């Protein structure tokens, strides 16, 4: 008998692991690699936030366990952020829960909502955690394709009746990873009508909520009666360059929040208090740092989109997030293109197929490196594609 569960044994190898292995090999052989693969900001956490953390570290009261649902200061800061940013009222005791990074809550949610063999509706392509968490919790996944023709929104009218009956949860994510798409409030209202008709909980992942280039992104909780059936995940990671700190939150329907809290209280004891308190500070202070960040990504976006379009790559400018979701050149599969980019141009990008089958034919670029490196990446991609054209022509 195997030492590990069949469930875990059946999990396919993490796509990023394969790419990372190859990347490390090339690096070891002295090749300069430009890594546009990871969704991890290169800029530092703003100093006032790190200063606040240091202050809190000097208070020994903060070394104790946090309350399971997070400390009052953090939960009140999330509620105050929602009021200021979205004009949404939240009860900080019943409608806010602190998370050890939003990934943690996103991954535990199915355990709070579904039973064995219930269906979860997931966007395709999507952040892989929705699918894997569903699987580990014993649920079944139903992919909702997101295509450019449909503005990267799921077509709810094609979901079969039988699936609708068995579905208990739907994940959504705008601004989207990897599609970089944004939506307006009318989209959320439409989805909520569908969810209410079919008794399906909506979990909206708003990890990139503050990273938008034209209009600000709505919260699903701004939609009519969203709190009846929806929760929204948020993160400090991307807005404030705090990925390693592991702090996020979930807000919305109090019953769902309570059941997730039951799952979590049997598994963890929330985040370290100084981190929660510094995060509370980040959420309630002037949001200047977030706007500065967005301006950095705006410049990088311009360099990359214009650079790639100038070499004939047909790239749309993202409306939100710090990703570019681009079709691979003709004649390549997603993985094939990623492999040749790595081996021949020293540029790491992520294959669209890593996010789901509808991502095949695409690749994702992360704008988390400085402008000069992006310019160099475009040049290397251009040189490679020209070499291939010359060889074939
Ligand atoms: C769409 C999306 N949601 C959630 C997360 C998780 O963020 P964190 O756990 O750092 O809050 C990520 C991280 O890459 C993401 O891309």
DSSP, residue by residue, 77-96: HHHHHHHHHH-----TTTSE
Assign 36 a pLDDT band (cuts: 50, 70, 90): very high
Residue to substitute in 37, 70, 102, 123 for testing ligand 1 pocket (most ligand atoms within 8 angstroms of CB): 102
User: Higher-confidence residue: 302 or 1?
Assistant: 302
| Count of positions (residues) in the chain | 393
Mean pLDDT over 199-227 rounds to 97
* 177 Cβ inside 6 Å of ligand 1: yes
Q: What is the pLDDT of residue 388?
A: 85
Closest protein CA for atom 14 of ligand 1: 39
Return d(Cα 208, Cα 128) in angstroms, integer: 16
H helical segments located in 156-287: 161-166, 185-198, 254-265, 273-284
Ligand 1 centre to CA of 4 (Å) is 27
Return d(Cα 137, Cα 276) in angstroms, integer: 28
Helix, strand or coil for residue 176?
Answer: coil
Q: What is the pLDDT of residue 2?
A: 84
Residue to substitute in 97, 130, 152, 177 for testing ligand 1 pocket (most ligand atoms within 8 angstroms of CB): 177
- To the nearest whole percent, how much of the chain has pLDDT over 70? 100
Flag whether pLDDT at 157 surpasses 80: yes
Q: What is the pLDDT of residue 18?
A: 81
> What domains does the chain contain, in order, with CATH numbers?
6-45+288-390 (3.90.1150.10), 47-284 (3.40.640.10)
Mean pLDDT over 14-19 rounds to 79
* 207 Cβ inside 6 Å of ligand 1: yes
Return d(Cα 300, Cα 378) in angstroms, integer: 12
**Cα 1 to chain centroid, rounded:** 37
Cβ neighbour number for residue 166 with a 10 Å cutoff: 16
Helices (H) and strands (E) in the chain, counts: 13, 12
> How many Cα atoms occupy the beta-carbon half-sphere of 84 within 13 Å?
12
Ligand 1 centre to CA of 245 (Å) is 12
The token duo for 337 is 């293109």
Condensed to tens digits (0 to 9), the pLDDT of residues 332-378 reads 999 999 999 999 999 999 999 999 999 999 999 999 999 999 999 99
φ/ψ of residue 254, rounded to 5? -65, -30
Q: What is the pLDDT of residue 66?
A: 97
């Amino acid at each position: 008998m195997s030492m590990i569960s069949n469930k875990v044994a059946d999990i396919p190898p993490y796509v990023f692991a394969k790419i990372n292995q190859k990347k490390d090999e090339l690096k070891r052989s002295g090749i300069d690699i430009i890594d546009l693969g990871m969704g991890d900001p290169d800029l530092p956490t703003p100093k006032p936030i790190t200063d606040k953390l240091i202050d809190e570290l000097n208070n020994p009261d903060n070394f104790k366990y946090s309350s399971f649902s997070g400390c009052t200061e953090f939960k009140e800061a999330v509620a105050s952020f929602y009021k200021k940013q979205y004009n949404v009222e939240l009860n900080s005791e019943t409608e806010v829960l602190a998370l050890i990074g939003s990934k943690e809550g996103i991954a535990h949610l199915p355990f709070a909502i579904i039973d064995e063999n219930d269906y979860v509706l997931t966007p395709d392509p999507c952040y892989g955690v929705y699918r894997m968490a569903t699987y580990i919790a014993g649920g079944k996944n139903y992919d909702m394709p997101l295509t450019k023709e449909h503005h990267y929104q799921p077509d709810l009218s094609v979901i079969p009746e039988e699936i609708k009956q068995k579905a208990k949860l739907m994940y959504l994510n705008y601004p989207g990873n990897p599609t970089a798409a944004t939506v307006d409030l009318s989209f959320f209202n439409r989805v909520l009508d569908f969810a209410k008709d079919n008794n399906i909980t909506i979990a909206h992942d708003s990890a990139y909520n503050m990273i938008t280039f034209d209009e600000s992104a709505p919260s699903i909780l701004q939609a009519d009666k969203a709190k009846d059936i929806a929760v929204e995940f948020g993160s400090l990671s991307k807005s404030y360059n705090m990925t390693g700190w592991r702090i996020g939150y979930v807000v919305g329907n109090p019953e769902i929040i309570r059941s997730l809290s039951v799952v979590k209280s049997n598994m963890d004891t929330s985040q370290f208090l100084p981190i929660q308190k510094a995060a509370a500070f980040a959420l309630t202070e002037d949001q200047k740092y977030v706007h500065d960040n967005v301006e950095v990504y705006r410049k990088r976006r311009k360099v990359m989109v214009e650079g790639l379009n100038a070499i004939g790559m047909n790239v749309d400018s993202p409306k939100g997030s710090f990703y570019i979701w681009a079709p691979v050149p003709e004649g390549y599969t997603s993985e094939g293109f990623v492999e040749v980019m790595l081996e021949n141009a020293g540029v790491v990008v992520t294959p669209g197929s890593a996010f789901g089958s509808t991502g095949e034919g695409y690749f994702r670029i992360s704008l988390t490196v400085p402008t000069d490196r992006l310019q160099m990446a475009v040049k290397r991609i251009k040189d490679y594609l020209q070499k291939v054209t010359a060889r074939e022509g």
